[in-house]
Structure 1
Amino acid sequence: MKLNIVPARTGITWVKLGIKTFLQQPLALSGLFFMFMALLSVATLVPFVGAALALALLPAATLGLMAATQEATKGKFPMPSILISAFRAGQQRKRAMMVLGALYAAGFLALMAVSALFDGGQFAKLYLVGGKITEELVLQSSFQMAMWVALALYLPLSLLFWHAPALVHWHGVTPVKSLFFSFMACYKNFGALSVFGLAWTGVFMLAAIAVSLLATLLGNPALAAVVMFPVALVIVAMFFTSIYFTFRDSFVASEPDDSAPKPDNFVNPGDAS
Protein backbone atom coordinates (compact mmCIF):
# COMPACT_ATOMS: atom_id res chain seq x y z
CA MET A 1 0.00 0.00 0.00
CA LYS A 2 1.28 3.42 -0.96
CA LEU A 3 0.05 6.96 -0.52
CA ASN A 4 -0.87 8.82 -3.68
CA ILE A 5 -0.57 12.60 -3.56
CA VAL A 6 -3.19 14.32 -5.73
CA PRO A 7 -3.57 17.95 -6.86
CA ALA A 8 -6.07 20.20 -5.10
CA ARG A 9 -8.40 20.20 -8.11
CA THR A 10 -9.02 16.49 -7.50
CA GLY A 11 -11.41 17.58 -4.74
CA ILE A 12 -13.83 18.74 -7.45
CA THR A 13 -13.45 15.41 -9.24
CA TRP A 14 -14.39 13.55 -6.05
CA VAL A 15 -17.57 15.60 -5.74
CA LYS A 16 -18.50 14.97 -9.39
CA LEU A 17 -17.86 11.24 -9.03
CA GLY A 18 -19.97 11.11 -5.88
CA ILE A 19 -22.92 12.78 -7.60
CA LYS A 20 -22.51 10.73 -10.80
CA THR A 21 -22.29 7.41 -8.96
CA PHE A 22 -25.26 8.26 -6.75
CA LEU A 23 -27.37 9.06 -9.81
CA GLN A 24 -26.43 5.69 -11.33
CA GLN A 25 -27.95 3.86 -8.35
CA PRO A 26 -30.15 6.47 -6.61
CA LEU A 27 -32.61 4.03 -5.03
CA ALA A 28 -29.97 1.67 -3.68
CA LEU A 29 -27.59 4.32 -2.37
CA SER A 30 -30.30 6.55 -0.88
CA GLY A 31 -31.94 3.50 0.71
CA LEU A 32 -28.63 2.38 2.22
CA PHE A 33 -28.00 5.87 3.53
CA PHE A 34 -31.39 5.91 5.28
CA MET A 35 -30.61 2.47 6.71
CA PHE A 36 -27.27 3.89 7.89
CA MET A 37 -29.07 6.72 9.68
CA ALA A 38 -31.68 4.36 11.12
CA LEU A 39 -29.00 2.00 12.44
CA LEU A 40 -27.23 4.81 14.29
CA SER A 41 -30.53 6.24 15.54
CA VAL A 42 -31.63 2.88 16.94
CA ALA A 43 -28.24 2.45 18.61
CA THR A 44 -28.73 5.72 20.50
CA LEU A 45 -31.88 4.28 22.08
CA VAL A 46 -29.92 1.67 24.03
CA PRO A 47 -30.10 2.72 27.71
CA PHE A 48 -27.02 4.34 29.25
CA VAL A 49 -24.59 3.49 26.43
CA GLY A 50 -26.64 4.49 23.38
CA ALA A 51 -24.58 7.52 22.36
CA ALA A 52 -21.27 5.69 22.78
CA LEU A 53 -22.60 2.66 20.86
CA ALA A 54 -23.71 4.81 17.94
CA LEU A 55 -20.30 6.47 17.84
CA ALA A 56 -18.56 3.09 17.93
CA LEU A 57 -20.68 1.84 15.01
CA LEU A 58 -20.02 4.91 12.85
CA PRO A 59 -16.68 3.76 11.29
CA ALA A 60 -18.11 0.36 10.33
CA ALA A 61 -21.34 1.87 8.99
CA THR A 62 -19.40 4.41 6.95
CA LEU A 63 -17.30 1.58 5.52
CA GLY A 64 -20.55 -0.10 4.48
CA LEU A 65 -21.55 2.95 2.44
CA MET A 66 -18.08 3.02 0.86
CA ALA A 67 -18.40 -0.66 -0.08
CA ALA A 68 -21.81 0.10 -1.60
CA THR A 69 -20.27 2.88 -3.66
CA GLN A 70 -17.55 0.52 -4.85
CA GLU A 71 -20.24 -1.92 -6.01
CA ALA A 72 -22.08 0.89 -7.80
CA THR A 73 -18.91 1.88 -9.69
CA LYS A 74 -18.82 -1.68 -11.05
CA GLY A 75 -22.37 -1.35 -12.33
CA LYS A 76 -23.75 -3.61 -9.60
CA PHE A 77 -26.78 -3.04 -7.39
CA PRO A 78 -25.56 -2.89 -3.78
CA MET A 79 -27.72 -5.03 -1.53
CA PRO A 80 -28.66 -4.03 2.04
CA SER A 81 -26.31 -6.65 3.51
CA ILE A 82 -23.34 -4.66 2.22
CA LEU A 83 -23.91 -2.17 5.02
CA ILE A 84 -22.42 -4.69 7.47
CA SER A 85 -19.43 -5.54 5.25
CA ALA A 86 -17.08 -4.63 8.07
CA PHE A 87 -18.40 -7.51 10.16
CA ARG A 88 -18.32 -10.09 7.35
CA ALA A 89 -14.62 -9.88 6.45
CA GLY A 90 -13.31 -12.48 8.89
CA GLN A 91 -12.71 -12.47 12.64
CA GLN A 92 -9.41 -10.57 12.52
CA ARG A 93 -10.72 -7.62 10.54
CA LYS A 94 -14.00 -7.64 12.43
CA ARG A 95 -12.10 -7.30 15.71
CA ALA A 96 -9.92 -4.59 14.20
CA MET A 97 -13.02 -2.63 13.11
CA MET A 98 -14.52 -3.00 16.58
CA VAL A 99 -11.30 -1.64 18.10
CA LEU A 100 -11.39 1.24 15.63
CA GLY A 101 -14.98 1.98 16.59
CA ALA A 102 -14.08 1.96 20.29
CA LEU A 103 -11.19 4.36 19.62
CA TYR A 104 -13.48 6.70 17.70
CA ALA A 105 -16.09 6.69 20.45
CA ALA A 106 -13.42 7.33 23.08
CA GLY A 107 -11.90 10.17 21.06
CA PHE A 108 -15.26 11.83 20.43
CA LEU A 109 -16.36 11.55 24.05
CA ALA A 110 -12.98 12.95 25.13
CA LEU A 111 -13.38 16.05 22.97
CA MET A 112 -16.88 16.53 24.34
CA ALA A 113 -15.44 16.30 27.85
CA VAL A 114 -12.98 19.05 26.97
CA SER A 115 -15.80 21.23 25.60
CA ALA A 116 -17.69 20.69 28.88
CA LEU A 117 -14.95 22.60 30.69
CA PHE A 118 -16.20 25.78 29.02
CA ASP A 119 -19.96 25.58 29.62
CA GLY A 120 -20.47 22.97 32.30
CA GLY A 121 -21.43 20.32 29.76
CA GLN A 122 -24.50 22.00 28.26
CA PHE A 123 -23.33 21.61 24.65
CA ALA A 124 -22.13 18.05 25.19
CA LYS A 125 -25.40 17.05 26.85
CA LEU A 126 -27.45 18.61 24.06
CA TYR A 127 -25.40 16.87 21.37
CA LEU A 128 -25.13 13.44 22.97
CA VAL A 129 -28.41 13.14 24.85
CA GLY A 130 -30.64 15.67 23.15
CA GLY A 131 -32.92 18.27 24.61
CA LYS A 132 -34.60 21.55 23.85
CA ILE A 133 -32.61 24.22 22.04
CA THR A 134 -33.55 27.69 23.24
CA GLU A 135 -32.45 31.09 22.00
CA GLU A 136 -31.20 31.93 25.48
CA LEU A 137 -29.00 28.84 25.54
CA VAL A 138 -27.53 29.39 22.08
CA LEU A 139 -26.71 33.03 22.84
CA GLN A 140 -24.69 32.17 25.94
CA SER A 141 -21.02 32.93 25.34
CA SER A 142 -19.96 29.82 27.28
CA PHE A 143 -22.18 27.59 25.10
CA GLN A 144 -20.78 29.13 21.93
CA MET A 145 -17.22 28.70 23.19
CA ALA A 146 -17.87 25.03 23.97
CA MET A 147 -19.32 24.53 20.49
CA TRP A 148 -16.30 26.10 18.75
CA VAL A 149 -13.86 24.14 20.91
CA ALA A 150 -15.65 20.90 20.00
CA LEU A 151 -15.56 21.79 16.30
CA ALA A 152 -11.86 22.66 16.47
CA LEU A 153 -11.03 19.38 18.19
CA TYR A 154 -13.18 17.37 15.81
CA LEU A 155 -11.08 18.37 12.78
CA PRO A 156 -7.96 16.38 13.77
CA LEU A 157 -10.19 13.52 15.00
CA SER A 158 -11.95 13.34 11.64
CA LEU A 159 -8.60 13.36 9.81
CA LEU A 160 -7.42 10.43 11.92
CA PHE A 161 -10.50 8.38 11.09
CA TRP A 162 -11.27 9.62 7.55
CA HIS A 163 -9.54 6.72 5.76
CA ALA A 164 -9.05 4.40 8.74
CA PRO A 165 -12.11 2.11 8.27
CA ALA A 166 -11.23 1.50 4.61
CA LEU A 167 -7.57 0.85 5.46
CA VAL A 168 -8.57 -1.72 8.07
CA HIS A 169 -11.12 -3.41 5.80
CA TRP A 170 -9.44 -3.40 2.39
CA HIS A 171 -5.75 -3.35 3.30
CA GLY A 172 -5.74 -5.23 6.61
CA VAL A 173 -3.94 -2.38 8.40
CA THR A 174 -4.03 -2.50 12.20
CA PRO A 175 -6.30 0.09 13.86
CA VAL A 176 -3.50 2.24 15.31
CA LYS A 177 -1.50 2.23 12.06
CA SER A 178 -4.64 3.02 10.09
CA LEU A 179 -5.07 6.20 12.14
CA PHE A 180 -1.51 7.27 11.35
CA PHE A 181 -1.80 6.49 7.63
CA SER A 182 -5.19 8.22 7.46
CA PHE A 183 -3.85 11.36 9.09
CA MET A 184 -0.80 11.45 6.81
CA ALA A 185 -2.93 10.94 3.70
CA CYS A 186 -5.24 13.79 4.76
CA TYR A 187 -2.22 15.97 5.58
CA LYS A 188 -0.54 15.31 2.24
CA ASN A 189 -3.80 15.78 0.32
CA PHE A 190 -5.19 18.55 2.50
CA GLY A 191 -5.57 20.85 -0.50
CA ALA A 192 -7.78 18.35 -2.32
CA LEU A 193 -9.82 17.65 0.82
CA SER A 194 -10.27 21.39 1.42
CA VAL A 195 -11.56 21.88 -2.13
CA PHE A 196 -13.74 18.80 -1.62
CA GLY A 197 -15.30 20.29 1.51
CA LEU A 198 -15.77 23.73 -0.04
CA ALA A 199 -17.33 22.23 -3.15
CA TRP A 200 -19.89 20.30 -1.12
CA THR A 201 -20.66 23.45 0.84
CA GLY A 202 -21.25 25.19 -2.47
CA VAL A 203 -23.55 22.39 -3.66
CA PHE A 204 -25.62 22.67 -0.51
CA MET A 205 -25.85 26.47 -0.77
CA LEU A 206 -26.86 26.33 -4.44
CA ALA A 207 -29.56 23.78 -3.60
CA ALA A 208 -30.87 26.00 -0.80
CA ILE A 209 -30.98 29.01 -3.13
CA ALA A 210 -32.73 27.01 -5.86
CA VAL A 211 -35.36 25.70 -3.43
CA SER A 212 -35.95 29.19 -2.02
CA LEU A 213 -36.36 30.70 -5.50
CA LEU A 214 -38.77 27.94 -6.49
CA ALA A 215 -40.87 28.47 -3.36
CA THR A 216 -40.93 32.22 -4.00
CA LEU A 217 -42.00 31.75 -7.63
CA LEU A 218 -44.81 29.47 -6.47
CA GLY A 219 -45.90 32.11 -4.00
CA ASN A 220 -45.39 29.84 -1.00
CA PRO A 221 -42.20 30.74 0.91
CA ALA A 222 -43.05 28.22 3.65
CA LEU A 223 -42.65 25.48 1.04
CA ALA A 224 -38.89 26.02 1.09
CA ALA A 225 -38.51 24.53 4.58
CA VAL A 226 -40.61 21.50 3.65
CA VAL A 227 -38.75 20.79 0.40
CA MET A 228 -35.26 21.56 1.69
CA PHE A 229 -35.28 18.73 4.23
CA PRO A 230 -35.44 15.84 1.73
CA VAL A 231 -33.14 17.73 -0.64
CA ALA A 232 -30.58 18.09 2.15
CA LEU A 233 -30.81 14.36 2.91
CA VAL A 234 -30.13 13.51 -0.73
CA ILE A 235 -27.13 15.83 -0.78
CA VAL A 236 -25.73 14.23 2.37
CA ALA A 237 -26.23 10.80 0.79
CA MET A 238 -24.26 12.00 -2.25
CA PHE A 239 -21.56 13.30 0.08
CA PHE A 240 -21.18 9.91 1.74
CA THR A 241 -21.05 8.33 -1.72
CA SER A 242 -18.14 10.59 -2.65
CA ILE A 243 -16.09 9.60 0.42
CA TYR A 244 -15.12 6.33 -1.29
CA PHE A 245 -13.33 8.24 -4.05
CA THR A 246 -11.25 10.24 -1.58
CA PHE A 247 -9.91 6.92 -0.31
CA ARG A 248 -9.57 5.21 -3.68
CA ASP A 249 -7.40 8.00 -5.07
CA SER A 250 -5.32 8.48 -1.90
CA PHE A 251 -4.08 4.89 -1.56
CA VAL A 252 -3.04 2.26 -4.06
CA ALA A 253 -1.74 -1.26 -3.73
CA SER A 254 2.04 -1.61 -3.70
CA GLU A 255 1.77 -3.78 -6.80
CA PRO A 256 -1.26 -2.47 -8.69
CA ASP A 257 -2.82 -4.37 -11.59
CA ASP A 258 -1.50 -3.51 -15.04
CA SER A 259 -4.97 -2.24 -15.91
CA ALA A 260 -5.07 0.13 -12.96
CA PRO A 261 -4.27 3.81 -13.54
CA LYS A 262 -0.71 4.72 -12.65
CA PRO A 263 -0.63 7.83 -10.40
CA ASP A 264 2.17 10.27 -11.06
CA ASN A 265 3.47 10.40 -7.52
CA PHE A 266 3.69 7.73 -4.83
CA VAL A 267 4.79 8.20 -1.26
CA ASN A 268 5.14 5.32 1.19
CA PRO A 269 2.96 6.26 4.22
CA GLY A 270 5.68 5.07 6.54
CA ASP A 271 8.06 7.58 5.02
CA ALA A 272 5.58 10.47 4.91
CA SER A 273 6.35 13.48 6.98
Structure 2
Amino acid sequence: MKLNVVPARTGLTWVRLGIRTFLRQPLALAGLFFMYMAAVLVVTQIPVVGVVLGGLLVPAATLGLMAATAEAASGRFPMPAVLVSAFRAGRERLRSMLVLGVIYTVGSALATVLGHLLAGGAPPAAADVPQVDMETLVTLLLHTPLFMMFWHAPALVHWHGITPAKSLFFSTVACWRNFGALTVYSIGWLGVFLVFGTVLGLIGGLAGGPGLAKAVMMPTALLLAAMFTSSVWFTFRDSFRADDDVPPAPSSRPDGEQP
Protein backbone atom coordinates (compact mmCIF):
# COMPACT_ATOMS: atom_id res chain seq x y z
CA MET A 1 0.00 0.00 0.00
CA LYS A 2 1.32 3.41 -0.98
CA LEU A 3 0.05 6.89 -0.24
CA ASN A 4 -0.96 8.79 -3.36
CA VAL A 5 -0.75 12.59 -3.19
CA VAL A 6 -3.19 14.21 -5.60
CA PRO A 7 -3.55 17.79 -6.90
CA ALA A 8 -5.99 20.11 -5.14
CA ARG A 9 -8.27 20.15 -8.19
CA THR A 10 -8.94 16.44 -7.62
CA GLY A 11 -11.33 17.54 -4.88
CA LEU A 12 -13.78 18.75 -7.53
CA THR A 13 -13.33 15.47 -9.41
CA TRP A 14 -14.39 13.60 -6.26
CA VAL A 15 -17.50 15.76 -6.01
CA ARG A 16 -18.36 15.17 -9.66
CA LEU A 17 -17.77 11.41 -9.42
CA GLY A 18 -19.92 11.17 -6.32
CA ILE A 19 -22.82 12.92 -8.04
CA ARG A 20 -22.39 10.93 -11.26
CA THR A 21 -22.23 7.58 -9.45
CA PHE A 22 -25.27 8.43 -7.36
CA LEU A 23 -27.23 9.29 -10.48
CA ARG A 24 -26.30 5.91 -12.00
CA GLN A 25 -28.02 4.07 -9.14
CA PRO A 26 -30.12 6.72 -7.37
CA LEU A 27 -32.75 4.39 -5.95
CA ALA A 28 -30.23 1.85 -4.66
CA LEU A 29 -27.79 4.33 -3.13
CA ALA A 30 -30.50 6.55 -1.67
CA GLY A 31 -32.29 3.49 -0.31
CA LEU A 32 -29.13 2.17 1.34
CA PHE A 33 -28.44 5.56 2.87
CA PHE A 34 -31.97 5.75 4.28
CA MET A 35 -31.61 2.20 5.61
CA TYR A 36 -28.45 3.31 7.38
CA MET A 37 -30.20 6.38 8.84
CA ALA A 38 -33.17 4.28 9.98
CA ALA A 39 -30.86 1.75 11.64
CA VAL A 40 -29.06 4.55 13.49
CA LEU A 41 -32.36 5.98 14.72
CA VAL A 42 -33.53 2.58 15.94
CA VAL A 43 -30.25 1.77 17.69
CA THR A 44 -29.97 5.15 19.41
CA GLN A 45 -33.48 4.70 20.86
CA ILE A 46 -32.30 1.75 22.95
CA PRO A 47 -32.25 2.92 26.59
CA VAL A 48 -28.87 3.59 28.24
CA VAL A 49 -26.66 1.88 25.64
CA GLY A 50 -28.25 3.16 22.43
CA VAL A 51 -25.95 6.11 21.87
CA VAL A 52 -22.88 3.99 22.64
CA LEU A 53 -23.96 1.27 20.20
CA GLY A 54 -24.60 3.90 17.56
CA GLY A 55 -21.04 5.18 17.92
CA LEU A 56 -19.60 1.67 17.81
CA LEU A 57 -21.28 1.03 14.46
CA VAL A 58 -20.16 4.25 12.75
CA PRO A 59 -16.94 2.83 11.18
CA ALA A 60 -18.73 -0.32 9.97
CA ALA A 61 -21.61 1.72 8.54
CA THR A 62 -19.20 4.10 6.82
CA LEU A 63 -17.47 1.12 5.25
CA GLY A 64 -20.80 -0.28 4.08
CA LEU A 65 -21.74 2.92 2.26
CA MET A 66 -18.28 3.09 0.66
CA ALA A 67 -18.62 -0.52 -0.51
CA ALA A 68 -22.01 0.32 -2.01
CA THR A 69 -20.47 3.18 -3.99
CA ALA A 70 -17.65 0.92 -5.18
CA GLU A 71 -20.26 -1.54 -6.46
CA ALA A 72 -22.23 1.18 -8.26
CA ALA A 73 -19.09 2.75 -9.74
CA SER A 74 -18.13 -0.65 -11.15
CA GLY A 75 -21.49 -0.98 -12.88
CA ARG A 76 -23.01 -3.41 -10.38
CA PHE A 77 -26.24 -2.99 -8.47
CA PRO A 78 -25.46 -2.58 -4.74
CA MET A 79 -27.62 -4.98 -2.75
CA PRO A 80 -28.67 -4.30 0.87
CA ALA A 81 -26.20 -6.92 2.11
CA VAL A 82 -23.35 -4.61 1.15
CA LEU A 83 -24.14 -2.45 4.18
CA VAL A 84 -22.90 -5.24 6.47
CA SER A 85 -19.70 -5.86 4.51
CA ALA A 86 -17.66 -5.19 7.65
CA PHE A 87 -19.38 -8.10 9.41
CA ARG A 88 -18.67 -10.54 6.59
CA ALA A 89 -14.92 -9.99 6.21
CA GLY A 90 -13.73 -12.49 8.80
CA ARG A 91 -13.34 -12.44 12.56
CA GLU A 92 -10.01 -10.59 12.64
CA ARG A 93 -11.14 -7.66 10.50
CA LEU A 94 -14.47 -7.50 12.29
CA ARG A 95 -12.62 -7.27 15.60
CA SER A 96 -10.47 -4.47 14.20
CA MET A 97 -13.58 -2.63 12.98
CA LEU A 98 -15.17 -2.88 16.42
CA VAL A 99 -11.97 -1.55 17.99
CA LEU A 100 -12.27 1.43 15.67
CA GLY A 101 -15.85 1.82 16.85
CA VAL A 102 -14.75 1.93 20.48
CA ILE A 103 -12.07 4.51 19.74
CA TYR A 104 -14.50 6.64 17.75
CA THR A 105 -17.16 6.51 20.47
CA VAL A 106 -14.74 7.51 23.22
CA GLY A 107 -13.12 10.22 21.09
CA SER A 108 -16.47 11.69 20.04
CA ALA A 109 -17.73 11.72 23.63
CA LEU A 110 -14.59 13.46 24.86
CA ALA A 111 -14.75 16.07 22.08
CA THR A 112 -18.43 16.73 22.79
CA VAL A 113 -17.95 17.11 26.54
CA LEU A 114 -14.88 19.30 26.10
CA GLY A 115 -16.68 21.46 23.55
CA HIS A 116 -19.58 21.90 25.97
CA LEU A 117 -17.22 22.92 28.78
CA LEU A 118 -15.19 25.32 26.65
CA ALA A 119 -18.33 26.98 25.29
CA GLY A 120 -19.72 27.78 28.72
CA GLY A 121 -21.05 24.57 30.21
CA ALA A 122 -24.64 25.42 31.14
CA PRO A 123 -27.36 25.22 28.47
CA PRO A 124 -28.07 28.78 27.30
CA ALA A 125 -31.49 30.37 27.25
CA ALA A 126 -33.36 31.01 24.02
CA ALA A 127 -32.00 34.55 23.88
CA ASP A 128 -28.42 33.25 23.84
CA VAL A 129 -28.55 31.77 20.35
CA PRO A 130 -24.98 32.90 19.48
CA GLN A 131 -23.71 30.86 22.43
CA VAL A 132 -25.42 27.76 21.05
CA ASP A 133 -23.68 28.37 17.75
CA MET A 134 -20.34 28.79 19.52
CA GLU A 135 -20.73 25.47 21.32
CA THR A 136 -21.53 23.73 18.05
CA LEU A 137 -18.56 25.37 16.35
CA VAL A 138 -16.13 24.45 19.14
CA THR A 139 -17.41 20.88 19.25
CA LEU A 140 -17.09 20.53 15.48
CA LEU A 141 -13.57 21.94 15.62
CA LEU A 142 -12.60 19.42 18.29
CA HIS A 143 -14.05 16.63 16.15
CA THR A 144 -11.91 17.59 13.15
CA PRO A 145 -8.85 15.51 14.19
CA LEU A 146 -11.23 12.60 14.81
CA PHE A 147 -12.72 12.97 11.33
CA MET A 148 -9.23 12.91 9.81
CA MET A 149 -8.31 9.77 11.76
CA PHE A 150 -11.45 7.94 10.67
CA TRP A 151 -11.84 9.26 7.13
CA HIS A 152 -9.94 6.34 5.58
CA ALA A 153 -9.47 4.06 8.60
CA PRO A 154 -12.49 1.73 8.07
CA ALA A 155 -11.54 1.17 4.43
CA LEU A 156 -7.90 0.52 5.33
CA VAL A 157 -8.94 -2.09 7.90
CA HIS A 158 -11.46 -3.77 5.60
CA TRP A 159 -9.68 -3.79 2.25
CA HIS A 160 -6.03 -3.72 3.33
CA GLY A 161 -6.17 -5.60 6.63
CA ILE A 162 -4.33 -2.78 8.41
CA THR A 163 -4.42 -2.81 12.22
CA PRO A 164 -6.65 -0.19 13.89
CA ALA A 165 -3.76 1.89 15.22
CA LYS A 166 -1.95 1.96 11.87
CA SER A 167 -5.14 2.66 9.95
CA LEU A 168 -5.82 5.73 12.10
CA PHE A 169 -2.25 6.93 11.57
CA PHE A 170 -2.26 6.33 7.81
CA SER A 171 -5.66 8.00 7.47
CA THR A 172 -4.45 11.09 9.30
CA VAL A 173 -1.30 11.29 7.18
CA ALA A 174 -3.27 10.81 3.96
CA CYS A 175 -5.74 13.57 4.91
CA TRP A 176 -2.86 15.90 5.81
CA ARG A 177 -0.89 15.20 2.64
CA ASN A 178 -4.03 15.65 0.52
CA PHE A 179 -5.29 18.59 2.56
CA GLY A 180 -5.61 20.78 -0.53
CA ALA A 181 -7.78 18.28 -2.39
CA LEU A 182 -9.96 17.65 0.67
CA THR A 183 -10.37 21.39 1.19
CA VAL A 184 -11.51 21.87 -2.41
CA TYR A 185 -13.73 18.80 -1.99
CA SER A 186 -15.36 20.30 1.12
CA ILE A 187 -15.86 23.68 -0.53
CA GLY A 188 -17.31 21.98 -3.60
CA TRP A 189 -19.89 20.08 -1.55
CA LEU A 190 -20.72 23.19 0.45
CA GLY A 191 -21.44 24.93 -2.84
CA VAL A 192 -23.64 22.06 -4.01
CA PHE A 193 -25.68 22.16 -0.80
CA LEU A 194 -26.04 25.93 -0.93
CA VAL A 195 -27.09 26.03 -4.60
CA PHE A 196 -29.62 23.21 -4.31
CA GLY A 197 -30.94 24.49 -1.00
CA THR A 198 -31.34 28.04 -2.25
CA VAL A 199 -32.97 27.11 -5.56
CA LEU A 200 -35.41 24.58 -4.10
CA GLY A 201 -36.17 26.85 -1.17
CA LEU A 202 -37.07 29.69 -3.51
CA ILE A 203 -39.18 27.44 -5.72
CA GLY A 204 -41.01 26.01 -2.72
CA GLY A 205 -41.52 29.46 -1.23
CA LEU A 206 -42.92 30.89 -4.44
CA ALA A 207 -45.16 27.89 -5.06
CA GLY A 208 -46.62 27.40 -1.59
CA GLY A 209 -45.09 29.72 0.96
CA PRO A 210 -42.70 29.00 3.89
CA GLY A 211 -44.50 25.76 4.81
CA LEU A 212 -43.88 24.14 1.44
CA ALA A 213 -40.32 25.48 1.37
CA LYS A 214 -39.56 23.73 4.67
CA ALA A 215 -41.24 20.55 3.47
CA VAL A 216 -39.05 20.52 0.35
CA MET A 217 -35.81 21.28 2.20
CA MET A 218 -35.74 18.18 4.43
CA PRO A 219 -35.93 15.48 1.71
CA THR A 220 -33.56 17.55 -0.42
CA ALA A 221 -31.00 17.70 2.39
CA LEU A 222 -31.24 13.92 2.89
CA LEU A 223 -30.78 13.22 -0.83
CA LEU A 224 -27.78 15.53 -0.95
CA ALA A 225 -26.33 13.79 2.11
CA ALA A 226 -26.76 10.45 0.33
CA MET A 227 -25.05 11.92 -2.72
CA PHE A 228 -22.20 13.17 -0.53
CA THR A 229 -21.62 9.72 0.97
CA SER A 230 -21.35 8.39 -2.58
CA SER A 231 -18.25 10.50 -3.09
CA VAL A 232 -16.29 9.36 -0.01
CA TRP A 233 -15.20 6.13 -1.73
CA PHE A 234 -13.35 8.10 -4.40
CA THR A 235 -11.34 10.05 -1.82
CA PHE A 236 -10.07 6.73 -0.52
CA ARG A 237 -9.56 5.12 -3.92
CA ASP A 238 -7.34 7.96 -5.11
CA SER A 239 -5.42 8.45 -1.85
CA PHE A 240 -3.94 4.93 -1.68
CA ARG A 241 -2.56 2.51 -4.21
CA ALA A 242 -2.12 -1.22 -3.89
CA ASP A 243 -1.77 -4.17 -6.22
CA ASP A 244 -4.33 -6.31 -4.41
CA ASP A 245 -7.01 -6.41 -1.70
CA VAL A 246 -8.79 -3.24 -2.92
CA PRO A 247 -11.75 -3.52 -5.29
CA PRO A 248 -10.72 -2.34 -8.76
CA ALA A 249 -11.39 1.30 -9.52
CA PRO A 250 -14.00 1.97 -12.21
CA SER A 251 -11.28 3.39 -14.43
CA SER A 252 -7.61 4.29 -14.29
CA ARG A 253 -8.43 7.74 -15.57
CA PRO A 254 -8.47 10.51 -12.94
CA ASP A 255 -11.98 11.60 -13.86
CA GLY A 256 -13.36 8.09 -13.65
CA GLU A 257 -14.51 8.01 -17.26
CA GLN A 258 -14.12 4.94 -19.40
CA PRO A 259 -11.73 5.24 -22.35
Q: Which residue of 2 aligns with 1:160?
A: 149
Q: Which residue of 1 aligns with 2:5?
A: 5
1:204 pairs with one of 193, 210, 219: 193
1:148 pairs with one of 137, 149, 160: 137
Deviations 1:135-187 (A, max 9, x none): 33534x3x444323211111111001000000000000000100000000000
Pairs within 5 Å for 1:23-38:
23-38=23-38
In 1: Cα distance, 2:159 partner to 2:138 partner: 33
In 1: Cα distance, 2:133 partner to 2:62 partner: 29
Q: Which residue of 1 aligns with 2:121?
A: 120
How many residue pairs get aligned? The number is: 250
Letter in 2 for 1:136: A
**Percent identical residues:** 54
Q: Which residue of 2 aligns with 1:195?
A: 184
Pairs within 5 Å for 1:1-273:
1-118=1-118, 119-120=120-121, 122=123, 135-136=126-127, 138-139=129-130, 141=131, 143-218=132-207, 220-253=209-242, 261=252
**Distance of aligned partners of 1:250 and 1:106 in 2 relative to their CA distance in 1, 3 Å threshold:** same
Deviation at 1:121, TM superposition (A): 6.1
8 Å CA contact 1:87, 1:94 repeated in 2: yes
Equivalent residue of 2:57, what SS? Answer: helix
In 1: Cα distance, 2:94 partner to 2:208 partner: 54
Q: Which residue of 1 aligns with 2:257?
A: none
In 2: Cα distance, 1:160 partner to 1:16 partner: 24
Q: Which residue of 2 aligns with 1:129?
A: none
Letter in 2 for 1:117: L
8 Å CA contact 1:61, 1:83 repeated in 2: yes
In 1: Cα distance, 2:61 partner to 2:148 partner: 17
Equivalent residue of 1:5, what SS? Answer: coil
Deviations 1:94-139 (A, max 9, x none): 000000011000100111121232333649xxxxxxxxxx633534
Deviation at 1:188, TM superposition (A): 0.4
In 2: Cα distance, 1:121 partner to 1:92 partner: 43
TM-score (norm 1): 0.86
Letter in 2 for 1:43: V
Deviation at 1:55, TM superposition (A): 1.1
In 1: Cα distance, 2:159 partner to 2:253 partner: 19
Q: Gapped runs of 5+ residues in structure 2?
A: 255-259
**Distance of aligned partners of 1:181 and 1:33 in 2 relative to their CA distance in 1, 3 Å threshold:** same
In 2: Cα distance, 1:209 partner to 1:260 partner: 34
In 1: Cα distance, 2:201 partner to 2:81 partner: 38
In 2: Cα distance, 1:114 partner to 1:58 partner: 21
Letter in 1 for 2:116: A
In 2: Cα distance, 1:122 partner to 1:36 partner: 30
In 2: Cα distance, 1:210 partner to 1:251 partner: 37
8 Å CA contact 2:115, 2:142 repeated in 1: no
Q: Gapped runs of 5+ residues in structure 1?
A: 124-133, 264-273
In 2: Cα distance, 1:17 partner to 1:199 partner: 12
